[in-house]
Structure 1
């Protein structure tokens, strides 16, 4: 990370650069060998009263006292990915949203308010892709009212870490007391290598619809009412996968869901019963679904995984999935 001009550290950012991606260096302490420095890269989201706020790609906000700043500059957007398909946030975000369609929705300018009686935050949160058409505080008031009328908590889903993501909105929400509850990664990969994996797909059953057995393994809800079924069945082209259990009438050993949307195939609800793990069933489910998506003309894959799910992240890493951006759910205070 180069900050010097003619051997001298230089601060080349000002409050006018709020909203731009920056790289800054600050002093953190002074030891026997001299000052120690820390570097931060992210979007400059505020510069007020002698304090800078930089939102990193993980969504964390780093606050830096102006008095500790020794160098800083505006930097270009993160370089294009070296593996996996090329994809912009503007393309990928709507694709991800269409895979978790709500029971009801309503526009607020370019924002979309979504509800599904509380089943999955992704279908019960605001998708803020663009301008709400009114000042932010007024928009947030309308959001609280809309979800309050449905006896639901008010959530807004934001994204960080890619060109065109919403670091500034994250900072604005945090300043207004909204709390970040969940952070997940959106990962992407080429689809063909997943379909080419050496997995035993003969045991995987594919269907256009789900059944009670599939639902018994999913268990992400209290009661599988019509709202749950509508969300799970929603999407441009939906496939369900299951691997039978070892005994007749038992819940499936593994399940999965795939939504094909143009060139994209989204993988979700990939779950394996605890007693069936380490048999390669998750890989088999994804391979079978990938082959079906390839038959429908898809060429790229995406999925969402929470940052604390280390086992799933390791599996997806081995399958070639790389982080594209992160998304967060902010809840109204």
Structure 2
């Protein structure tokens, strides 16, 4: 913050992106002030709750505020395709479809026998058409009827994401299990980065591809999820000894977007460019189908993947999280 220090926010600004400066807690740092930028998700009982881009919430006593103001949404990145969360969220959902789904207002309840959180969680892209507590009761009953824990997938860090819903779920003691990020980038640089020779493309995940896939014991339900999407391609680099493939990958083409997933390499053959070859082959196919932009999902602690994707020109667009229902005492799942 620059200029005159002044608190120019109030409880009426809940839901807006703000920048605040507060007095540093004694013993935490030598700096006198700490700045926080994020969405103001509540202001109750003299305490502000601000949710940062990564989804983590910061509690700030009102008495420690030195300055605060509403700030605009983050400016568009200088590289990579321009895209809103409203565009990307449905694209990502169509690339990993559940076996069963049901609408609850603008929420989508998704189930696939427990195969991955993405296919077994609520995607809340608007209002559920009910007060939140009633909606969550419906959600818990729907998943309970299927023998599954209730989960809600949320996002933070971009315009139109669900910081307020995250705060409400945490207030109700829903537990955040996983946080990852969705990254975007241009498709042509992926195709140009490495040669695509020796990569076999298929419309189905055959036995060889599944032999390298990290989720073992893939069921018929899982195969349906893996094969779902507008235009799905599987890539395989055969091994020299005829065993499990040296590398695999999956891509779903959907309009201008190509979504990459399940890029896996034999641990003994890593750092030899195999992942780049797999992605290049899939990118070339996606370009032939008219796509121009790419997206993928990566966990925060996967340093190897993050370095690879950064080198290809990908950048983080938003973070996403899976919240699991609280377990009530005496309740079994």
Query: Smaller-chain TM-score range?
Result: over 0.9
Match of 1:18 among 9, 14, 18: 14
Q: 33-42 vs 256-265, which deviates more?
A: 33-42
Aligned residues: 325
CA contact 1:162–1:324 (8 Å) conserved in 2: yes
Shift of 1:275: 1.1
Shift of 1:77: 0.6
Is it true that 1:203 corresponds to 2:198 in the alignment?
yes
CA gap 1:67/1:211 in 2 versus in 1, 3 angstroms: same
Is it true that 1:36 corresponds to 2:29 in the alignment?
no
CA gap 1:28/1:239 in 2 versus in 1, 3 angstroms: same
- Alignment partner, residue 219 of structure 1: 214
Shift of 1:279: 1.1
Normalised to the residue count of structure 1, the TM-score between the two structures is 0.95
Shift of 1:153: 1.1
Distance in structure 2 (CA, Å) of the matches to 1:292 and 1:195:
9
- Alignment partner, residue 87 of structure 2: 91
Normalised to the residue count of structure 2, the TM-score between the two structures is 0.95
Give secondary structure in 2 for the equivalent of 1:203. Answer: coil
CA contact 1:185–1:304 (8 Å) conserved in 2: yes
Distance in structure 1 (CA, Å) of the matches to 2:98 and 2:319:
21
- Alignment partner, residue 303 of structure 2: 310
- Alignment partner, residue 72 of structure 1: 68
Distance in structure 2 (CA, Å) of the matches to 1:68 and 1:41:
15
- Alignment partner, residue 233 of structure 1: 227
Is it true that 1:296 corresponds to 2:289 in the alignment?
yes
Give secondary structure in 2 for the equivalent of 1:268. Answer: strand
- Alignment partner, residue 268 of structure 1: 261
Alignment of 1:134-153 (within 5 A): 134-153=130-149
Indicate the RMSD between aligned Cα atoms, in angstroms.
1.3
Write the deviation string for residues 87-111 of structure 1: whole angstroms up to 9, x where unpaired: 0110010000000000000000000
- Alignment partner, residue 331 of structure 2: none
Shift of 1:142: 0.7
Write the deviation string for residues 228-276 of structure 1: whole angstroms up to 9, x where unpaired: 110000000000000001202x010100000000000000000001111
Distance in structure 1 (CA, Å) of the matches to 2:324 and 2:197:
43
Shift of 1:219: 2.8
Distance in structure 2 (CA, Å) of the matches to 1:313 and 1:321:
9
Shift of 1:35: 7.1
CA gap 1:288/1:24 in 2 versus in 1, 3 angstroms: same
CA contact 1:26–1:68 (8 Å) conserved in 2: yes
Shift of 1:73: 0.4
Q: 301-310 vs 210-219, which deviates more?
A: 210-219
CA contact 1:30–1:36 (8 Å) conserved in 2: no
- Alignment partner, residue 178 of structure 1: 174
- Alignment partner, residue 271 of structure 2: 278
Gap runs ≥5 in structure 1? none
Distance in structure 1 (CA, Å) of the matches to 2:111 and 2:302:
26
